[in-house]
Amino acid sequence: MRIKLFESEQKVMEAVPIGTIKKLTVKGRQFVIAHSGKGLVVADALCPHMNEPLHKGKLNAFNQIICPLHEYRFDLETGAESDDRCNRLQIFQIEIESDGVYLII
């Protein structure tokens, strides 16, 4: 399924500035959208370790999202935890087109 998240690339850049993580609700399902140095990533809203909301986390210079509860670090390309201590974080594909920004789920 392909769902329009934002009307333009400019709108998503304004809503999710580089270095930030925001909550995202799409069709009743919760996600986070993160803007790292490598671009925009949509992921599951909850940490796969113990379900902490990841929008309260941080991004680092290694393209990882850091969970605020136990500071596990998840790669934003693969979803893998840096020390393989829990399941992967589910990462979703997004497409930036001339008519909008789309989430593929």
Residues that bind ligand FES (CB under 6 A): 47, 49-50, 52, 67, 69-70, 72
Q: Provide, rounded to whole angstroms, the least separation between the CB of residue 97 and ligand FES.
A: 33
Identify residue 8 by its one-letter amino acid code.
S
CA distances from 101 to 49, 52, 60 (A): 29, 27, 24
Residue whose CB is less far from ligand FES, 22 or 49: 49
Residue whose CB is less far from ligand FES, 12 or 47: 47
Asked whether the CA dihedral 11, 47, 82, 89 is positive or negative, the reply is: negative
Residue whose CB is less far from ligand FES, 6 or 72: 72
In DSSP notation, 31-45 reads: EEEEEETTEEEEEES
Q: Provide, rounded to whole angstroms, the least separation between the CB of residue 83 and ligand FES.
A: 11
